[in-house]
Structure 1
Amino acid sequence: MQRRIVFHVPSLRGGGAERVFVLMANEMARRGHEVTLFTWNGEGPNAALRSDAVHFVDLGIPIHGEGFGKPATIAGLWRSAGFYRRLKPDAVFSGPEFANLITALALNLGFSKAKFFPSFHAAAAIPSNDFGSKLAVLLSGLVAARATKAIAVSAGVGRDIAARGVAAGRIAVINNPLPPAAARTGQVYPWQAELTALGEGPVIATAGRLVGVKDHKTLLRAFAALLKTRPARLVLFGEGPLLGELEAESRVLGIASRVLFPGYVNDPAACYAAADLFVLSSTSEGFGNVLIEAMAAGVPVVSTDAPHGPREILADGKYGTLTPVGDVDALADAMGATLERPTDAALLRGRAADYTVERIGDQYEALLR
């Protein structure tokens, strides 16, 4: 039965909930549903992923820094309520935290009878100084009361939101999907030549925002320790406020000539093709999309045992070594050992296949019944 579905994220600039919702909107539209992707600001790299079969509604609210500002947020709430009142959707999916609160309020203000599925992508261990996120946590009871079911991207995140008062029977654990495999374009990027110029040795890669929770300093220090035993190169794909600080750290450690910061690269296939090993050094990780993307490309992975996604994805270490959060020596040892004895690529690809868009789409569609 065809349903009228809305996927709402505030913008398309991020990489977690934003990418997931574009992928799931595409998948639900492919299955014959009437799907709208609804944003407050439609700019960002994830916009290019949207299928033409997905309707797009963008309020065009400017972003200032990391948010919209209080007056624009209040205006956006009222405009959102009007949007839901006019469209009369059967189901609304939202994320992340603050978008869940706004959507719950907007659905109530718009007198909408739509089923509501707020999604939770971050572990409770991730600290946030963002006013909106803090407010969303404080008012999580309102979201829980309006929700048909709450989607947790990992079992650990499910436990977190249950601890905040969401009834266990109203939590659906649905992992994030693996993006469809993108064909290599053959395009040549400047960073590839820069990587070659770093010299010999296997390439260790990571990808993500250059922010504190990713703990790239531990990765840099572990890489410095590894260089004492073997040649290697490190590339950190991503952008963020800590770029200058991390570049300075690499100089202090004396490894700047072996480390590359190419910025955000909107071609994951090229990034993983360059890597001999992928490392995630986060202190907290609700899921860990980059791990399954690397595994799908056949790239061995090492990760900190950050709550909660890595342990679930790597099946307690079956598919890649888990190291204690913040442990430089353990991370260096795991990187060296995995380079010496890489995990079988077929095993990694088989595990990544558990997270295809089609499989995750089945779970999303089941919520509509």
Structure 2
Amino acid sequence: MTHRLDIGFVIDGLAGGGAEKVALTLAEAMARRGHAVTVLSLRDAQAYATPPGVALAKLVDAYRGPLRRQTEILRRARQLDAWMLAERGGRRFDLAFSILPKTDRIVRAARLLDNAWLCLHGAVAGTQLADKRGLKRWSKRRQLAHTYHARRWVTVSAGLGDELRALTGARPARVETIPNPFDLDAIRALAAEPCPLDGTPFLVHVGRFHPVKRHDRLFDAVRLSGYAGRLALIGDGPPAEHDRLRAQARAAGLEERVVFAGFSANPYPWLRAADALVLSSDSEGFGNVLVEALACGTPVVSTDCPFGPAAILSGELARGLAPLDAEGLAGTIRAVLADPPAIADDALDRFALDAVVDRYLALADAND
């Protein structure tokens, strides 16, 4: 695909999450190649800077009337269509991508975005159905099937699409598995900046404060591993999650050793300086930080959870995959610290930004 494309990303806000970062990374790389790129954000939230060469439009919902929540999806879809008519004369994007599950529902209902690819970065069905029973589960399953059936999907790992099919019965019009993109040279350059714990032995965990990340398992594993250094948590979450994690750290006897460093737009100095990155999740849609840590030359340990870690940690790096329990994770931490797996020169080539962007741009051929 060599001609100039008109590309749109639709996303439910630009808060500091992995899917948001991926979308902006792709948008910037596509703009650098001379394509016209627009990001449509459905909320005012913005933790990341707008990339150069990318147009950003914020479609903030000002409606405060009755049944606001119940009418939100159709109302936001009409707002998207109205923007497409007002700003583009109703002309569809050559390539359109929907980012995040709520956005997918809105885009599905929008008339002028019927050619959009719905991008699956996490376990959409598994997460949304996990706590549902009876009629509520049936209703949520029906909603998911309606959103995703007969639409085009991009999944960052093959298992995400398999799970969505199995749990909802949805069948895609087409599905492509494309890993997340990484500007490896930029990561290494940013990693050279100072880290507050330079010269101090520590392990690092990068991720939002959410039960699926299983910080309780992380704390227990660090204690059981016998590791004597500190544990830095790079991430954030609601106040209740902060309180929960502090209580868990205290229960594990790590209260004085855990560093709550908060969200960082540049976590790479932490990754570069750490003895190892440790992930303890029950599921990871992909596991961006695994690639980022490896790019910094840092050993990684991760629970062998669905769906991304095993696809990233292959060959020699698979020694960093751990069972989904604190004892097994502790043993893997000890083993990796004692004998870190070698990171081959070409281990990350398939995740390099240009290679991934090529695959996304090739999706325009599906419109031909």
Which TM-score bucket, shorter chain as reference?
0.7 to 0.9
> Do the aligned residues in 2 keep the contact of 1:201 with 1:231 (CA within 8 Å)?
no
Determine helix, strand or coil for the equivalent of 2:27.
helix
% of aligned pairs identical?
Answer: 32
Counterpart AA for 1:210? F
How far has the Cα of 1:141 moved from its partner? Answer: 3.9
Instruction: Say which SS state the counterpart of residue 127 (structure 2) adopts.
Output: coil
Partner of 2:351: 355
Alignment of 1:210-249 (within 5 A): 210-227=209-226, 230-241=227-238, 242-249=241-248
Q: CA deviation at 1:70?
A: 4.6
SS at match of 1:177: coil
Q: Kindly report which structure 2 residues correspond to 1:151-230, keeping only aligned pairs within 5 A, or say none.
A: 151-163=154-166, 164-167=168-171, 170-180=174-184, 181-182=186-187, 183-184=189-190, 192=196, 195=197, 202-227=201-226, 230=227
2:10 is matched with 8
Is the alpha carbon distance of 1:120 and 1:135 closer, same or farther for their aligned partners in structure 2, counting shifts above 3 Å? farther
Amino acid at match of 1:125: G
The AA in structure 1 aligned to 2:126 is: A
Deviation at 1:127, TM superposition (A): 4.6
Do the aligned partners of 1:296 and 1:353 also contact (CA within 8 Å) in 2? no
User: Structure 2: how far apart are the matches of 1:352 and 1:128?
Assistant: 33
Match of 1:368, SS state, is: helix
Q: How does 1:1-369 map to 2 (within 5 A)?
A: 1-46=3-48, 48=49, 50-61=50-61, 69-70=69-70, 73-86=73-86, 87=88, 88=91, 89-106=93-110, 108=111, 112=112, 115-123=115-123, 124-127=125-128, 138-144=142-148, 147=151, 149-163=152-166, 164-167=168-171, 170-180=174-184, 181-182=186-187, 183-184=189-190, 192=196, 195=197, 202-227=201-226, 230-241=227-238, 242-315=241-314, 318-325=317-324, 327-344=325-342, 346-347=343-344, 350-369=346-365
Would the aligned equivalents of 2:234 and 2:261 in 1 still touch at CA under 8 Å? yes
Q: CA-atom RMSD, angstroms? A: 2.9
- Mapped contact 2:317–2:341 kept (Cα < 8 A): no
Residues 1:212 and 1:316: Cα distance change in structure 2 (over 3 Å): farther
Structure 2 residues not aligned, in runs of 5+? none
Instruction: Measure the CA separation in 2 of the matches of 1:247 and 1:151.
Output: 37
2:149 touches 2:171 (CA, 8 Å); kept in 1?
Answer: no
Distance 1:311 1:129, change over 3 A: closer
The amino acid that maps onto 2:313 is L
Q: 2:172 & 2:205 partners in 1: Cα distance?
A: 34
Letter in 2 for 1:21: A
After TM superposition, give the deviation of residue 185 of structure 1 in Å.
Answer: 8.2
The structural deviation recorded for 1:342 is 1.2
Residues 35 and 126 of structure 1: CA distance in aligned 2, closer, same or farther (over 3 Å): same
| CA-to-aligned-CA distance 1:13-32 (integer Å, 9 cap, x gap) | 04222111111111221222
Residue 138 of structure 1, CA deviation: 2.8
Post-superposition Cα deviations, 1:98-149, rounded to whole Å, max 9, x if no partner, equal: 211210211x2xxx37622111111243356899x997753344444562x2
2-structure distance, mates of 1:25, 1:91: 11
The verdict on how the C-alpha distance between 1:128 and 1:357 changes in structure 2, with shifts beyond 3 A counting, is: farther
C-alpha deviation, 1:285, in angstroms: 1.0
Distance 1:130 1:176, change over 3 A: farther
Verify the 8 A CA contact 2:150 2:170 in the aligned structure 1: no
C-alpha contact 1:126 1:213 (8 A) present in aligned 2: no
Partner SS for 1:350: coil
- 2:129 and 2:14 map into 1 onto residues whose CA distance is 20
Query: How many Å apart are 1:179 and its aligned residue?
Result: 4.0
Q: Which amino acid in 1 is paired with 2:83?
A: F
Q: Is the 8 A contact 1:28 1:361 kept in 2?
A: yes
Cα 1:78–1:146 change in 2 (3 A) is farther
Q: What amino acid sits opposite 1:237 in the alignment?
A: I
Superimposed CA distance per residue, residues 209-254 of structure 1 (whole angstroms, 9 cap, x where no aligned partner): 1110000100001111123xx4222111111132111112222222
Instruction: Give 1:270 shift.
Output: 1.6
**Paired positions, count:** 346
Q: Which residue type is aligned with residue 306 of structure 1?
A: C
Secondary structure at the aligned position of 1:139 is classed as helix
Cα pair 1:305 1:323 within 8 Å, conserved: yes
Q: Distance in 1 between matches of 2:190 and 2:118?
A: 34
Q: Which runs of 5+ in 1 are unaligned?
A: none
How many Å apart are 1:314 and its aligned residue?
Answer: 0.7
TM-score, normalised with respect to structure 1: 0.84
Letter in 2 for 1:238: G
